[in-house]
Structure 1
Amino acid sequence: MDALARLPVSTLCDVDKSLPVVDPAIRPLTPSERVCGPAYTVVAAGEFLSVLWAIGEAQPGDVLVVQAGGAPLAALGELLATEAHRRRLGGIVVDGYVRDRAGLPPELPLWARGTVPVAGRSDVPPRVGGPIAFGGVRVNPGDIVISDADGIVIAPRAQLEACVPRAQEIEALEAEVLGATRRGDSLIDMTNLREHVAKLQAGEQSALAINPPS
């Protein structure tokens, strides 16, 4: 998990383009964008009791994945977010809305579609665990939630961990290429761009390649 947590989401998606990417309308509301931890699934449509219950039941490092429905009602606010941070949860991602943005703990990664001032209900039984739909992605408890400034991916742990070796190779290669470009070398000259385009125009198969200067 440590190796996975150090990799950019974009690089993981370069390795496996089938990784489920959450709706980009769900964005970070605190400065802490990075999430990497197991999903603790919650359904809180029009209410916040399920989120409060989940905060009390989840383990440190768990990421609450909250399907909050489409109503403009907040699934949590400053009080619940502060308790989640105190309990050392790995973060909260909400397919819906939250409130009290100014008071949200900056150290707690918290993503949502936006903010509204009105809280949901607290008089329905909590619904936690089980598969949910979240931002266009099917999420099962224990799936890994990983995010950074580019967005959120949620996938089975095995699928993500299979990406790690190749993603590390890509990161090393791109670091070399970026360093060379910053020193004044041409990025285009480090690629097979012209040959690649010529083959594509001729109807031949080709792949774009990048090779840093030796």
Structure 2
Amino acid sequence: MMKIGVLGPVGSGKTTLIEFLTEYFVRKFAISVGIITNDVVSNHDAVRVYEELVVTKKVLPKENVVGLVTGGCPHTAIREDPSMNLRALERLTRRVRLDVIFIESGGDNVMSTFSGLLADYTIFVLDTAAGDKYPGKGGLGISESDLLVVNKVDLAPYVGADLEKMKRDAEKVRKGKPTVFVSLKTGEGVESLINVLKEELSIEGILRI
């Protein structure tokens, strides 16, 4: 079983990314996927995932989606004290056999990371609408995540974000670790995202796809 942690600022596209990858993994490779979402004050993301993947697209059974309300700092629940998520993992895997589990953090800052107890592979999500400064700012989440996904590239012209600058900064900060630029809304860059994940996860020996 592979645990994939997805983190990044509020509104960057974490839930959308998880929904896309879940549908792709299930339909393309017929594997079993579970999802745990973290929210500070509500289970909004879990409800959205349930409606999208369970009710509308019928990709997952309802028992494969778990929503957690952490009630505190988002990165505490995934790093300093991951006990709530660990209990959710235990309950989830006791109910169903899973090949992949996505764990979505609540909205995080650039210093957030996952505890090694929770995630085998981590994806940090940024979006161009927040400006082109973020990759260059660094921070553990950006520099240490296994994959950096810069989302909403279709919005770059409207917010004055320089994608080439973001690429240069990401290469400098991440020191060879992969970064992909995508629009999960339009599909731009999605093929590159899938190709990187195929290569990365196969190298890690966690998921053979």
Normalising by structure 2, what TM-score?
Answer: 0.28
More helix by share: 2
